[in-house]
Structure 1
């Protein structure tokens, strides 16, 4: 585990694993320590994964001001980590609520990105729905033995007024978040309470009102390529929501992973790794071609 000190004196923890060019991976939850990402299904074989714990989670410090947990204010922590790593530009990946943060970072610092990977992201930060058609997705899984209990859990989550209240329904609801409710999925879901900081969860979107028009204008001018990956049976976001949100970006590759839920690296790690690695390789090749063109122009 490594540490840096952010803009307000809060110590932030991050770990690195894997081999290859760096890929900064923002965890979601919101408020879940990056441990739940694992190595993203083997993506560490292609990239050096940089996995920060959001302030207040995991090994990161607790700030004096809990309002600094808010998603737009966390952009400063991402920028502090980029500077600490000494990277002029970064490949950035955000999962779930971390995808919302990644979009805000892209809007604020577009010149610092070489690519943006949005892995089953939330669109709350840009004012778009994430659950379009969710009831239809749930109904299509009615043959599963856990379905009736999971629907009750989903309804409880939806009616909860706080993350603490929603937590009482979470495990009943969890089968709907995975493409396969097998032993690996159950272990992954069971680890959530110990990895999650409820104060971070509660403050992540508290009092946050996005300037949707300004954000969409900025994202519409983003020059780096974007991979937007949704799971076929995910609820937040649904594939329908991701398809609609793809229009935010001028250079986007939209992929819906068959049979996958909210954690596609568990449902089909080989498929997830191949998709993300291929996208990043194309980005690397495009960047190399641009550098060669610049070198030729300089020589001329």
Structure 2
């Protein structure tokens, strides 16, 4: 598994979402001004290796094993772990199993469970997205992509994610790098036979400084789940980005960086 290091300061390991999405969308230059950001390039994607059973076998537990190996390899104390979307599933489970290895947990646009509830909520949020931007071709394309979602091959998954991408933003037209991101976005059709799960009981027993970040207009793993995470994890902090969807680090980068660096500095003071 490859990883990429940028910045200077306390160490924050960042795990992207998907699963199967390239890591580079998660790059955060403003965060790198105050933190050493270690970006995970998850197994099965990009230049990282593939599992012997590829495209299968990519369970949350498997990703957790690789996070553990990475932290062993880095050998640095006081690490914060940030997980975005599906990467937040991985970060939660890692924190539940190895709370002593972390200085803090940062859950960014993710949820405390995986199952049909996520998809029902996402479908409802996508309908609201279409209502807001009914006159925009990209909104129509996102809905059409959702209804005919194809993820069986790398090419199909990449095309689907590019078609859906506008729905991941409160307003993609306000994001300077949107067009470049959409063109360069790559996805790999990794799969897992892991069934639905819930982390609520384990998170309720977690005693680890935790920050929950969510965008008000998130279409998948949106504010409903951020609030639920905050209410479940004892002593957690919640930050809602009022002008963001699923990509608060791109839509409100200054506010996002301030929230994360403030949390890290508070924990290490």
Q: TM above 0.5, one fold?
A: yes
In 1, the alpha carbon distance for the partners of 2:135 and 2:160 equals 18
In 2, the alpha carbon distance for the partners of 1:102 and 1:222 equals 13
Tell me, yes or no, if structure 1 residue 188 matches structure 2 residue 181. yes
The answer as to whether partners of 1:131 and 1:238 remain within 8 angstroms in 2 is: no
Tell me, yes or no, if structure 1 residue 233 matches structure 2 residue 220. no
How big is the alpha-carbon RMSD for the aligned residues of Structure 1 and Structure 2?
2.4
In the superposition, the TM-score normalised over structure 2's length comes to: 0.87
Provide structure 2 residue ranges, at least 5 long, that are not aligned to the other structure.
none
Structure 1 partner of 2:237 = 253
Superposed, 1:279-298 pairs within 5 Å as 279-285=263-269
Structure 2 partner of 1:150 = 142
Tell me, yes or no, if structure 1 residue 76 matches structure 2 residue 65. yes
Residue 85 of structure 2: which of 96, 99, 105 is its match?
96
In 1, the alpha carbon distance for the partners of 2:42 and 2:250 equals 22
Query: Cα deviation per residue 1:109-138 (whole Å; 9 max; x = unaligned)?
Result: 122121111111254448863763514641
Structure 2 partner of 1:65 = 53
Structure 2 partner of 1:295 = none
Tell me, yes or no, if structure 1 residue 207 matches structure 2 residue 193. yes
Query: Cα deviation per residue 1:9-67 (whole Å; 9 max; x = unaligned)?
Result: xxx211110010110111112112322212x2510011000112111222222232334
The 1:140–1:20 alpha-carbon spacing in structure 2 relative to 1, beyond 3 Å, is farther
Query: Cα deviation per residue 1:49-95 (whole Å; 9 max; x = unaligned)?
Result: 01121112222222323344222221111001111111344210011
The 1:179–1:116 alpha-carbon spacing in structure 2 relative to 1, beyond 3 Å, is same
> Is the partner of 2:73 in helix, strand or coil?
helix
The answer as to whether partners of 1:13 and 1:53 remain within 8 angstroms in 2 is: yes
Cα offset, 1:274, TM superposition: 1.0
The 1:104–1:126 alpha-carbon spacing in structure 2 relative to 1, beyond 3 Å, is farther
In 2, the alpha carbon distance for the partners of 1:162 and 1:249 equals 35
Runs in 1 of length 4+ with deviation above 6 angstroms? Answer: none
Query: Cα deviation per residue 1:228-278 (whole Å; 9 max; x = unaligned)?
Result: 111111111121232123222112111110111211121121111111111
Highest Rg: 1 or 2? Answer: 1
Provide structure 1 residue ranges, at least 5 long, that are not aligned to the other structure.
1-11, 286-300
The answer as to whether partners of 1:23 and 1:93 remain within 8 angstroms in 2 is: yes
The answer as to whether partners of 2:157 and 2:188 remain within 8 angstroms in 1 is: no
In 1, the alpha carbon distance for the partners of 2:170 and 2:239 equals 16
Structure 1 partner of 2:41 = 53
The 1:270–1:84 alpha-carbon spacing in structure 2 relative to 1, beyond 3 Å, is same
In 1, the alpha carbon distance for the partners of 2:103 and 2:210 equals 9
Cα offset, 1:211, TM superposition: 4.9
> Is the partner of 2:229 in helix, strand or coil?
helix
In the superposition, the TM-score normalised over structure 1's length comes to: 0.78
The 1:241–1:50 alpha-carbon spacing in structure 2 relative to 1, beyond 3 Å, is same
Superposed, 1:11-22 pairs within 5 Å as 12-22=1-11
Query: Cα deviation per residue 1:129-180 (whole Å; 9 max; x = unaligned)?
Result: 37635146415523552333332223333xx574765544433322111233
Q: Give the total of aligned pairs.
A: 262
Tell me, yes or no, if structure 1 residue 115 matches structure 2 residue 98. no
